[in-house]
């Protein structure tokens, strides 16, 4: 073996042959550990995305059978996708945005309660944590269906709300955009709460005492100490909520109506299965993906924390 290059760090020169061999082996193991993940990503992420992009440019030859498309460079698919479906697209991001903010308010409060306020009461905190995670254990489609029954026009919730005149006499809860946003908030709440909980749980409460010693009011201490230290959790939680919520179609299908709640996921589903227009479904998916990517990039640049990466 040749003499080590000058850039090589000092101690390396003193390595024995055995140590050098061990280091090389470690390097090989490192590469070996990366390969499975890389292959997985290539097979199950890169390849499908490539196929999706290619499919979004396919064209339907005149007079072709249902479901038959040929490779082409049909950019007009995107023009149609944007010009015809911008309303559900915009609505998806609006609904997902509102749901994210609501989930942040509710989720932060819950996580703060369990992780900071009840830190001394181990048992109570553990029970509450289980309650937080419990919704994960059952199918979210079933839970959403259950809400439909609870909030039905003839159910006690709607009757009570009508009685206290919060809802008008012919008002309803299901099949409204409020129901869809509420469903999104409810279903993605654990994704918001758990990351925040994880970062609040590590919060050193002595810092809060120190803030108090320096005459900070509890509110100021929260704003200047707790909140900044929990930002990685908030950041992860908002992304984990916003991204899947904008592509979600289950909530809108079950809790929405056919007037003012259609989300882009529903449109993609019907383009793919009902109309069998695979290129349009692919183009819409691509648009959704790109817009999410742009929004997330902007978000990371504005609020991103180094701790995440």
Partner 1 sequence: MAPQPFNRRRKPTDPRLNRLIAAQVSRRRLLGGAGGLGLAGLLAACGTGGTGTGGASSAAALTPAADVSADEAVVNWANWTLYLDYDDETKKYPSLEAFMEKSGLTVNYSEDVDGNDSYYGKVQAQLSRGQDIGQDIVTLTDYMAARLIRQGYTQELDRSNIPNAENLLPNLQDVDFDPGRKHSLTWQSGFAGIAWNKEKVPGGLKTVSDLWKPELKGRVEVLDEMRDTMGLLMLEQGVDIAGDWGADEFGNAADLLEQQIDSGQIRQVKGNSYKEDLVSEDALAVIGWSGDITQLNFEEGDKWEFAIPEAGGTLWSDNMLVPIGATHKSNAEQLMNHYYDPEVAATVAAYVNYICPVEGAREAMEGIDPSLVDNPLIFPTEDFLSNVSIFRTLDSGEENEYSSMFSGAIGV
Residue 170 CB burial class (10 angstroms; 0-12, 13-18, ≥19): exposed
Q: Which two tokens stand for residue 104?
A: 């942040």
Q: Can you tell me whether residue 59 is helix, strand or coil? A: strand
Q: How many residues bind partner 1 (CB under 8 A)?
A: 46
CA distances from 96 to 25, 122, 288 (A): 48, 34, 13
Among 1, 5, 17, 154, binds partner 1 (CB under 8 A): 154
How many helical (H) and strand (E) elements, i.e. helices and strands, does the chain have?
Answer: 13, 0
Q: Closest separation between CB of residue 241 and partner 1, Å? A: 23
Within 201-260, the residues that bind partner 1 by CB under 8 A are: 254, 256-259
278 touches partner 1 (CB under 8 A): yes
For partner 1, which is the closer residue by CB, 57 or 240? 57
Q: How far is the CB of 297 from partner 1 (least distance, A)?
A: 27
Separation CA 183–CA 307 (nearest Å): 31
* Closest listed residue to residue 285, CA positions, set 89, 96, 95: 89
Among 80, 172, 207, 229, binds partner 1 (CB under 8 A): 172
Site string for partner 1, 11-50 (x = CB under 8 A): ------------------------------------x--x
182 vs 192, beta carbon nearer partner 1: 182
Query: Which are the contacts of 275, defined by CB distance < 8 A and separation ≥ 6?
Result: none
Q: Which residues bind partner 1 (CB under 8 A)?
A: 47, 50-51, 54-55, 58, 61-71, 88, 145, 148-149, 152-155, 170, 172, 174-175, 254, 256-259, 262, 266-267, 269-270, 272-278
């Amino acid at each position: 073996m040749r003499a080590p290059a000058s850039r090589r760090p000092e101690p390396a020169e003193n390595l024995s042959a055995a140590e050098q061999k061990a280091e090389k082996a470690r390097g090989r193991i490192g590469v070996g550990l990366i390969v499975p993940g890389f292959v997985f990503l290539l097979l199950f992420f890169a390849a499908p995305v490539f196929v999706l992009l290619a499919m979004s440019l396919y064209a339907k030859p005149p007079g072709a059978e249902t479901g038959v498309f040929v490779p082409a460079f049909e950019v007009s698919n995107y023009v149609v996708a944007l010009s015809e479906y911008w309303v559900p697209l915009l609505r998806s991001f609006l609904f997902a945005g509102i749901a994210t903010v609501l989930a942040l308010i509710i989720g932060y409060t819950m996580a703060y309660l369990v992780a900071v306020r009840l830190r001394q009461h181990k048992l109570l905190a553990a029970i509450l944590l289980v309650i937080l995670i419990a919704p994960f254990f059952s199918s979210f489609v079933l839970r959403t269906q259950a809400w439909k029954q609870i909030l039905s026009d003839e159910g006690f919730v709607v009757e009570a709300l009508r009685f206290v005149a919060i809802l008008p006499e012919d008002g309803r809860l299901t099949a409204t955009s409020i129901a869809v946003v509420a469903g999104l908030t409810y279903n993605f709440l654990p994704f918001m709460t758990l990351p925040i909980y994880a970062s609040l749980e590590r919060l050193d409460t002595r810092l809060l005492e120190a803030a108090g010693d320096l005459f900070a009011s509890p509110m100021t201490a929260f704003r200047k100490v707790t909140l900044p230290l929990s930002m990685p959790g908030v950041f992860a939680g908002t992304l984990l909520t916003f991204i899947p919520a904008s592509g979600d179609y289950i909530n809108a299908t079950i809790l929405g109506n056919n007037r003012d709640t259609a989300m882009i996921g529903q449109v993609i589903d019907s383009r793919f299965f009902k109309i069998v227009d695979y290129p349009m479904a692919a183009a819409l998916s691509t648009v959704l993906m790109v817009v999410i990517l742009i929004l997330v990039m902007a978000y990371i640049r504005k609020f991103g924390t180094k701790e995440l990466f």
